[in-house]
Structures are given as structure tokens and as C-alpha cells.
Structure 1
Amino acid sequence: MTTTDATTRSRDYALNAGVVTELAAMRPRVLVIGDLILDGWWDGAAERMSREAPAPVVEISRRRFAAGGAANTAVNLAALGADVRIVGVIGDDEAGRELRSILSSSGVDTRGLVETAAGRTVAKNRVVSGEQVLVRLDDVNGDPYPEEALEAAAEAAEASSGWAELEVICDYGCGLFVPALTARLARRVRRPRPCIVDAHDLRRTRILRPDVVTPNAGEFEQLCGRLDPGRRAEEVPARREALLEASGARSAVVTLDREGSVTLSPEGGVHRTFAHPATERQASGAGDTFTAGLALALSGGLPLADAADLAQLAADIVVRRPGTSVCSAHDLRAELAPADDAAVDHDTLEARVAEHRAEGRRIVFTNGCFDVLHRGHTASLRQAKRLGDVLVVAINDDDSVRRLKGPDRPVNTATDRAAVLAALECVDYVAVFSSDTPIPLLERLQPEVYAKGGDYTPEMLRETAVVRGYGGLVSMLDYVEAHSTSGIVEQIREHRPTTVPGGVG
């Protein structure tokens, strides 16, 4: 495994969409051994309190399930393009069957799953109302796994050892990695096959002599002492030797949640990544995604620091999504090299809006030409986003702008306007429409809220009757003293400062 730090890696290297495509095309063979968890998300309305206790009553309307723990690492690896096999223990129960189905449908080879009637599948079920997790219900094993189940898991790991190009060990303290199993894994003949360990207690897996460990801040502090909350990234490198000695590893990537990560290479180099935090309160499993991204990159021969960059990007993508999510190679490519046309076609938009609505998310819709984006636009768009959860911005195509504004408009094409709007953090989707009004798209999407700039009134808008007709809300945004596009264009032509007021439109 090649590792390096940011100061010595190749100057002509850059993480880009082409690199992601090449990694996925390699189809690296990755073996995941670890604790398997079924993540559940139970959604419902909480509109009253129980008479039996001071607790909300949640009327469950939907149950969602996802792979968790080592299983989540495996499905992320498969989505990123790896050829994945998984080894672990599940119970002979409904949760185990659900987890096996999720893994198989995600393209993960499940021949290494060991099923036992003497233990239950570990499951973590979150009860959610609105955007708030109210309680988590964990099904865990009170007794150790039977010896025959652990023996079968060890045999499955050994059978795939010669096949794998990289190995990921995921020890979340759920009972798989007893001393006898780790000792047996350590006795296998080690090919030049990188081993990554993601473990709650890295002392348990020290015997494996991993190439890379990926402790989070809490796991790091467990081995190396408490970090100053304001200087965690600066203090980690000073404790490099203590971490590597305690974990038995050659190198490490320490993840610091909202502060990114710190890579400690074998040669002593240090590399820092920076996270892009999100406000999503339901997100879970970003650490599994980080490990999967790191594994994919290392299996493709990327230096450790560059692998950490890719892993950070993958984690950033999933923390923006609710629940336990998966990052795919397509997601990475889209993040690294957005399409020239950032607008979403109407069929895709309708499907995504339906998915968000099924998750209980409130859709906000606004529209305009947005020819030259200015402060009035951005202020109104931020205000519109606060009216719900998902903001859809529909823009007139070039022909309809010409019909509305005159032959010398638009200044910017629909492709350029869509790309600029899509880059705004408050905007979730951009769509282009060809009619003079967005009424056909409104009728199709039926957003809960239709927002329009404060220089209009509901009575001025043909859209008002349509929105109110299906039960939606028309919301007029505050008038923003800023700049109108027409005024800006005129003043540019006359070489005057732009001070004409305006808003969304």
C-alpha cells in the first residue's frame, strides 16, 4: 500500500470525476468482516401525550430499513463500484432476513453470512416524528454467539482471503470479534493485501496489525487521552506514536466529525481534510461511508492522503441525507464534476418530490427568470427555503424569457442560470419550463407551498387559483430592497452603480 502526505504526493494529482470512474471500473475485490446491524427508521405523527406516562404517542405510518454497521460499509463499497463479499453473523429471524435481502439487492456477495438460531440479529430502530428522533430501540445479543457460529465465520473469512485485494474489519462491539476469532484471523497467510480496521476499541484488533485504522474522536481519546475540544485537529498528530502503538497499525485516519479528518501516514506525514457539515438530524452511518470510500481508493492504489480526500467527500454527501444513506460512484462524480446542465428533467423531479413527500418533507416551489442573480434573489430564496424542507426553483427557458422580457434577454442562458442556482446551498432542485407560467409544472408537482416575491400579491398571480385548488399554500415573500435584473442590465450598459430595488422574478 502506498501512503504519503499532502506535501509529497504527486503535484499533478487531483481528485476528479475521472478518478472515480477509473476506481469503479477496476472492480476491486473487497472483503468486509464485521458486526452486522439492521438500521430501522419508524416514521409517524406525534400529536398527543400518553395517559400512562409523560411520553408522546407516535402513530407509526411507515417503517424503513437499511444496512448498518459492517453491512452499511459493504453496501457503500458496492455502490462505489467494488466487488464485495461480507462475513458476519445474523440471527434466524425477520431482521436477519431483511438484512440479507438488503445486502443481496445491493450487489453484495452474502455467501459468508452465518445464520444462527442461538442469537438474534442486532437491530437499531429509531422512532421518528417530523425531523426529530424521539427514541432508539436496540435489539442486542445478551449472550455470546455460539462457538459453531464463530467457527463458521472464521472459515468463511479464510475462504475469501485469497480472493480479496483489500480487507475491511468492522468491530462495533456486537460480539463477533472475540479473542479466539481475532487470533485465528491473525494467523492467516497475509498476502500483500491492505487491511483497514474500523473498531470501537482498537486494542481488540491490535493482533491483526492493520495497515490503517479509522478511529473517531471518542475512540482516539479512549486510547490516547482527552483532546482539547478547540484544538483536536492540532493535537492528534502529537499523539501519533501512542495511537499506532495501541492499535498495532502502520497508519491512521482519525475522523473528527464536523472538523473533517487527520491522516497520519507511516512516514510521519500529516494530511487534513475539511468536512462540510449539514444540519440533518436524522443522518446516520457517515463513518461507515467514510471507511468504504477510503477502502475503494486504497484498493485502487491511491495514496492514503488522497484516499482520505475521497472518503471525506463521500461522507459529506451522505450527511446531507436523512437516515442511513449510501454514496455511489455516480454521487461522487456529480459532486466533483456537476453536469453542464444542472436542471432536473420533469419526470425525475416528479419522482424525487414524491420520495421526499413520502418521507414527510414539505415541498416549496418558486419560479422566475433569474437572468442575472443578485442579492434580492438570494435573500428571497433563503426565505423560501425556510418555509419547508425541499426548495424547487423553476426557471423560464430562453424562448419564454425573450417573450416576457424582450429580444435582448436573457443575458445568461438557461443552462448557465440553472448551474448558478443549483450551486446555492438553499436550492435543492432546479427545473426549466417553456411556458409563460409554471402552472403545468405546479399541477404536476403540487408543492405544499408556492412562494413568490413580495413585489406581487396573490391576486396578481394566475398560479394562485391552481395552488389553492389542490390545497396548497401561496406565500408572499418579504420585499427585499436589492437590485432588479432589468435595472442591473440597464445600468451596466450605462456604466452606473446598481442600486435599483427588486426581488425574486
Structure 2
Amino acid sequence: MARLSNQDGPANQDGPLNQAALSTQEGLADWLPGRLADARPVVTVIGDSILDGWWDGTIERFCREAPAPVVQVQRRDFAPGGAANTAMNLAAMGAQVRFVSLVGEDSGGQTLREQLQSAGVDVSHVVSHPEMTTTTKFRVSSGGQVMLRLDDAAAEVPADGLRRMAAAIPGALTGSSAVILCDYGAGALEGAVRDAVLQNLGPQSGGVQADESRTDRREGDFPPARRNTLVVVDAHYPGRWASLQPDLATPNAQEAATLLGTEFPGGAARCPFVEAHSDQLLRASGAGAVVVTLDREGTLTIRPNSASQKPATHRTWARPQAEKQASGAGDTFVAALTIARAAGLPLTTSVNLAQAAADVVVHRPGTSVCTTEELAKHLRGFADTALTDFELARQVEEHRREGKRIVLTNGCFDVLHRGHTRYLNQAKQLGDVLVVALNSDSSVRKLKGPDRPVNHEADRAAVIAALSCVDHVTVFDTPTPIPLIDLLRPDVYAKGGDYTPEMLQETEAVERYGGTVTILDYVPEHSTTAVLERIRSTGEAPQA
């Protein structure tokens, strides 16, 4: 029988990677980054290289020539940026990375090569050209504040350099599990390079729009290098790669607005705006799925929905902290998303994992990468996160003072599945802070029978807490969550299932202080009972 616990990892964890088990993995757990690293997918990154510089010092006076501060530089740090940072992140998470780019025969190009090579990235496909200037972005800061950024780039990318880079592409693609195009408008994906990408990866006869699993792709539609290869487009102008029909496009809000030919609203209105224009984004990008990154507001994934004319969506929420001089979290996100998909994880789980990886680096100054160990540690931090009633009440009151809307829901959440994640994402959208109250092990046994729960309450709490849509987790042992409702007084009490508010004991307690009860969609085909019955009858977990 396949293992039931998301905490235990795929079956035969100590043996060869079980990709079939990964393909059904819905929740995040600390063993997952290591399993992805074990997969060691070959990922080719093609795109614009940048050398990021971070110069930090002290300011004690202004210069005589102008009212400008004099920064006495005390520290100089350099790091690969742009496509090179994506390659660095992939290598740090265990992928075998081939990098295709164009740099100058200058100190910046040499530094990039050395740092990439020392990280284990294959730079044999990187072209150095005497007429090329390596793009550099040097930031001068003091006291945690960036004072100035100095950019240097080629006025014109040499055509001969592009031809040499294009010639390197077929060899770099051989045997790749995934390809990422990092097109930031610096010129490395123009001319002969663009032609080579389309020739080696684009549809040969019109092609077909692919879904997330790419099962509808006919072999005759794409060249050999594209078959069974994940193609991800991370571009400032993703529409220019629509004819490639990528599997994934990852625009940020500004890039998505460019795709739509319109301006985005600000703040919390951005996500509903993206969802309302999901059809247009899929068509304009030509992608099988679009993941729109929204900075502090997380991401929204859009993909075709075979059961409805309206595209399916999946939301993640970032865990932002105080602003820092961070750069490159988007590169980390794309890298983690790609390695997860290349290793066989479902799209929604891959996006959740990518959000967690971005959360790791966004809290650091400078341009940095997320390693397998750091991502595992980050996820492990959720393993003991069930709050006591007292601590939860204190944090909820703090959120309320900040004007945030509190949502409470409860359930067993035993074997995590897509129905759970969809429900919790819906609950999060009812407010600003989502609190999930888990039934204790003893109460689950009373409700479900002596063979439940499958997973201990500490394990269930860890998996639920790792979801980006969940802000706080607690465990309750009473017959109903009414005592917790009386303590927290949430603005919204959400419940999933075939209920009406009048059927719930909790409704009276919520309405007594002016709260709202909301009934969310129930997904019977993805119920825990259905999952367990399928496992017991077939010995295998159902496909996601």
C-alpha cells in the first residue's frame, strides 16, 4: 500500500526517486526539497546575464562639488543576476544546469563565469565576445538604504555573438528535462538566438495548446528537443514568445499588464483583476498555464479547465517581512517552480514550493539563492506551529488592531488533497488572515472512527501551516469550535460542505457578535474518505 502521510514522503523514500508518488503530492513537507534534488533534472537556461554589485559603506560628509553624500565603501559583493541568478538557484536546489548566454571579454564576464562555475553550473555554452559589454548593475548603499544604482550595458549586442550563441543551443538542449527562457530585453534572445529557440522548441505545424501535463501534445507538432521537455518563459514581454506555446509563462504584474495592453489596479485589487482577465492572459501568452507573480500579494496561477469554460486558478500568499535590499526573488521563484515541475510535482504544489523558496530569499539583503537545505529548514519551521489558544488570541488581536479581517475555519485535514487546498484558498480570499483550527486526534477518532486520523495532529498542523494561504494553525479538542469562536470572534467563519448556515451549531455563536458565516464549495471527488477508499481498494493513491 502506498504511504498515506504527506509527512513521510513518497514510498521507498530511501530508494530510487518515485516520480509517480511525487506526481500526487499535494502538501509541502521538509523532505520534499531533498527529493527534488535527488531527481537531478537537467535544466537549460537561455537568457540575459547580469552581474549584480552591492557596495556598502558609511556616510559622514557631503562632497564639495555638489550636495551629494560621500560613501566610504567598506564592502563590495558581486553576484550573478538575471538569467545567471536563475541558473544559480537551480544549481543550489540540485538541478544539473546548462547555461547559454552572451557576455563580454571583460572583468564582469569573467566574474560571472567564475561564480557560475564554482556553483556547479555548466558554462561551456556561454559565449564570450570582445565586442560585448557584460551587463552590470551596481548598487551603492549605506545604513541599509540604496543611494544609487549604476547600470552599464552594451549599446548594441554583436550579431556575431548572437550567431555563436545560437549555434550552442542545440547541444545545450540535448537531454534536457526543462528549458527556461529568461528574456529581460537586454538583447541576448534576439536575432539568430530567437530563430534557434523557435526552430528547436517551437511547433512545426501550428501545434496545439498544451495543458499542464502536456498529454495532448502530438509528437509531430514539435521538434525532438521539445518532446517531453518543460518550457518556461520568464520574459519582460512574454507575448513575443506566444508562438513558442510554452508550458508555463511567469509574468509579474507589470508584464501581465503589458500582455493585456492595459494598466493594473493597485494593491489588493490586482489579484481579482488578473482572475477576471485569465482567458486573455492565456491566449496572449500562448502558454499552457500562466503564473502571475504579485510581489507581497503572492501569485495567481491560471490554467485551462476541462470542466468549465472559465480557467482554473490557484492562489498563493507571500510571507513578507520588513523591506530589505533584496533582489532576484523572482528568479528564485522561477527556478524552484521549474525544478519541481521537471521532477514531476503537480503544478499547484510546484507553485506553493516556489512561493516558499521566494520567501526564503526575499528576507535577505542583496542577490541570493535558496539552497535545498535552506528550503527544507524553512518548511521544517512549520513543524511545530500549532498555537495555544492564548497565543492565537494575542496574535489575532494584533491583526485586528491593524485593521485586518479575520477568517476562521476548522476541520480534520487528515490526508491533504486538492479539495483541501482549493477550499483553504477560497477561505483565505474572504479576508486578510486565515486561522485554521484542526480537530485533535481524539476528536477525529470520535468523528471518523478508530482507524482515523491517518496523520498525527502535529503532522497535520505542519502540513497545513506550510500552505501559503494559512496564517495561523491551532488544535481544538472540544465537540465544536464554538469556544474558539467565542475567544477569537472572527469576522468570517467559513465552512465547507453540503450545509446551510442554519444547519450549523456555530452560526448562532458567530452571529451573536455580528460575524458572518460563509459556506464554501465542497469537492466530493477529492474527499479524504474517497482518497482512502481508493488507496485501500487499489493500493495506489489517485492521480492528481
- TM-score normalised by L of structure 1: 0.64
Spell out, residue by residue over 1:256-290, the C-alpha distance to the aligned partner (whole angstroms, 9 max, x if none).
00000000123321000000112132100000000
- Secondary structure of the residue aligned to 1:206 is helix
State how far apart, in whole Å, the 1-side matches of 2:196 and 2:383 are.
52
1:273 aligns with 2:316: yes
Spell out, residue by residue over 1:214-260, the C-alpha distance to the aligned partner (whole angstroms, 9 max, x if none).
00001111121222223111121221222222222121100000000
Spell out, residue by residue over 1:33-83, the C-alpha distance to the aligned partner (whole angstroms, 9 max, x if none).
000000000111111111111111111122100010000000000001111
State how far apart, in whole Å, the 1-side matches of 2:150 and 2:171 are.
35
- Secondary structure of the residue aligned to 1:149 is helix
Q: Residue type of the partner of 1:82?
A: A
**Quick check: 1:182–1:208 contact (8 Å CA) kept in 2?**
no
Aligned to 1:239: 277
**Quick check: 2:100–2:172 contact (8 Å CA) kept in 1?**
no
Displacement after TM superposition at 1:160 (Å): 1.8
Aligned to 1:111: 124
CA RMSD of aligned residues (A): 2.5
Displacement after TM superposition at 1:337 (Å): 1.5
- Secondary structure of the residue aligned to 1:104 is helix
Q: Residue type of the partner of 2:290?
A: A
Displacement after TM superposition at 1:150 (Å): 0.8
Displacement after TM superposition at 1:204 (Å): 2.4
Aligned to 1:406: none
State how far apart, in whole Å, the 1-side matches of 2:359 and 2:113 are.
27
Displacement after TM superposition at 1:207 (Å): 2.8
Structure 1, 245-254 or 66-75: larger mean CA deviation: 245-254
List aligned pairs for 1:224-263, cutoff 5 A.
224=260, 225-229=262-266, 230-263=268-301
Larger radius of gyration: 1
1:55 aligns with 2:85: no
**Quick check: 1:30–1:82 contact (8 Å CA) kept in 2?**
yes
**Quick check: 1:265–1:304 contact (8 Å CA) kept in 2?**
no
Stretches of structure 1 that go unaligned for 5 or more consecutive residues are: 1-8, 343-372, 379-505
State how far apart, in whole Å, the 1-side matches of 2:96 and 2:227 are.
18
Spell out, residue by residue over 1:295-354, the C-alpha distance to the aligned partner (whole angstroms, 9 max, x if none).
111101111111110110000110111100110110111011249999xxxxxxxxxxxx
State how far apart, in whole Å, the 2-side matches of 1:119 and 1:94 are.
12
Q: Residue type of the partner of 1:165?
A: S
Match of 1:38 among 51, 54, 60: 51
Stretches of structure 2 that go unaligned for 5 or more consecutive residues are: 1-21, 201-222, 306-310, 396-544
Q: Percent identity between the aligned chains?
A: 47
- Secondary structure of the residue aligned to 1:185 is helix
Aligned to 1:355: none
Runs (4+) of structure 1 moved beyond 3 Å? 9-12, 338-342
State how far apart, in whole Å, the 2-side matches of 1:131 and 1:276 are.
21
- Secondary structure of the residue aligned to 2:239 is coil
State how far apart, in whole Å, the 2-side matches of 1:217 and 1:157 are.
30
Aligned residue pairs total 340
Structure 1, 269-278 or 187-196: larger mean CA deviation: 187-196
State how far apart, in whole Å, the 2-side matches of 1:58 and 1:18 are.
45
State how far apart, in whole Å, the 2-side matches of 1:340 and 1:314 are.
17
List aligned pairs for 1:145-224, cutoff 5 A.
145-188=157-200, 189=223, 190-224=226-260
Aligned to 1:69: 82
**Quick check: 1:280–1:321 contact (8 Å CA) kept in 2?**
no
Aligned to 2:445: none
Displacement after TM superposition at 1:170 (Å): 0.3
List aligned pairs for 1:38-437, cutoff 5 A.
38-143=51-156, 145-188=157-200, 189=223, 190-224=226-260, 225-229=262-266, 230-267=268-305, 268-338=311-381
